[in-house]
């Protein structure tokens, strides 16, 4: 396909996506929309109050889900590592390696989501709740301890699978040591992932800032939300520029 045709196809695809978004947004707006902004505010407040009132069950559910995810991932990972140890078939080894990568990534991302939910509920219970409850501190500490415990177990399994990997889980230098023990293909993959993550987070933060600025016109979003998103955007830009300049000064190999 020629470049012009590709460009034309790209523009058409983008136009199609915008149109699709407009149609879906229109339908949702028609079905659930309310020109009165207080209705949206009231709904948001209702859900926030509901979360605050039920923070104990919410936190227990999050903790149980987190525990279940970590247990499942740990046992599945252990089974894959044990299978890989005695595996002579190279194709099967490749499949097992892919599985090991997938399970460890799933576990990490799942824990991230549960952490966000937990912190959000815990913070809400303080901001909106008026009671001093020792139980919520306990419900907060337990899941906070689950993650590092399983993290150590999972890293030890990954180190057993690939003994060349270095780094003590929990140490401040863990990520640096782990990265240094990776070979060139693993480093290349990590760099590619980081680059794509940087692009995606740049989009998300800039869109988040614009959305906060626009929403501030209609809802009492507050200056602090605008300030935080602006700060995140600024920090990301400065950090990217800093590492870009730093890496240009360093040797590539």
Partner 1 sequence: MPLLNHMKEHRARLGLNQAELGKLAGVSRQTISLIEREDYSPSVTLALKLAKIFGCPVEDIFEYLEEERK
In the complex, minimum distance from the CB of residue 102 to partner 1, in angstroms, rounded to a whole number: 13
For partner 1, give the closer residue by CB, 36 or 90. Answer: 90
Q: Residue 186 or residue 233: which is nearer to partner 1 going by CB?
A: 186
Q: Between 8 and 187, whose beta carbon lies closer to partner 1?
A: 187
Q: Least distance to partner 1 from the beta carbon of 77, Å?
A: 16
- The CB-of-178 to partner 1 minimum distance in angstroms stands at 13
- Residue numbers of the site for partner 1 (CB under 8 A)? 88, 90, 93-94, 97, 162, 164, 183-186, 188, 253
CA distances from 155 to 5, 72, 81 (A): 48, 15, 12
Question: 184-218 and 223-249 are packed helices; what angle lies between their axes, rounded to 10 degrees?
Answer: 160
Sequence-separated (6 or more) residues with CB below 8 Å from residue 52: 124, 125, 128, 129
What is the separation of C-alpha 17 from the centre of its chain, rounded to a whole number of angstroms? 25
Q: What is the dihedral of CA 101, 104, 109, 114, to 10 degrees?
A: 160
Q: Which lies closer to partner 1 via its Cβ, residue 41 or residue 85? A: 85
Closest CB to partner 1 among 131 and 183?
183
Tell me the C-alpha distance between 173 and 175, whole Å: 6
Q: For the CB of residue 158, give the shortest distance to partner 1 in the complex, in Å.
A: 12
Q: How far is the CB of 228 from partner 1 (least distance, A)?
A: 40
Please classify residue 178 by burial: count the beta carbons closer than 10 Å to its beta carbon, then call 0-12 exposed, 13-18 middle and 19+ buried: buried
Q: What is the CA angle 200-24-208, rounded to 5?
A: 30
């Amino acid at each position: 396909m020629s470049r012009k045709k590709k460009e034309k196809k790209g523009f058409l695809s983008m136009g199609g996506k915008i149109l699709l978004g407009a149609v879906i947004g229109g339908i949702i707006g028609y079905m659930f929309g309310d020109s009165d902004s207080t209705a949206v505010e009231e709904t948001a407040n209702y859900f926030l109050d509901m979360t605050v009132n039920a923070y104990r069950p919410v936190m227990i559910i999050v903790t149980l889900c987190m525990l279940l995810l970590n247990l499942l991932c740990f046992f599945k990972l252990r089974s894959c590592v044990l299978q890989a140890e005695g595996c002579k078939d190279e194709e099967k080894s490749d499949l097992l390696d892919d599985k090991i990568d997938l399970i460890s990534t799933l576990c990490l991302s799942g824990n991230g989501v549960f952490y966000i939910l937990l912190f959000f509920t815990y913070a809400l219970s303080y901001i909106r709740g008026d009671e001093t409850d020792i139980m919520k501190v306990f419900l907060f500490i337990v899941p906070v301890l689950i993650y590092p415990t399983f993290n150590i177990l999972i890293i030890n399994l990954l180190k057993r699978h690939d003994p060349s990997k270095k780094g003590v889980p929990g140490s401040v230098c863990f990520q640096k040591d782990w990265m240094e023990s990776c070979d060139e293909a693993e480093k290349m993959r990590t760099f590619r992932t980081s680059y794509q993550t940087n692009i995606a987070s740049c989009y998300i933060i800039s869109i988040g800032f614009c959305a906060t600025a626009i929403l501030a016109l209609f809802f009492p979003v507050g200056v602090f939300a605008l300030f935080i998103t602006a700060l995140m955007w600024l920090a990301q830009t400065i950090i990217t520029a800093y590492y870009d300049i730093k890496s240009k000064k360093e040797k590539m190999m």
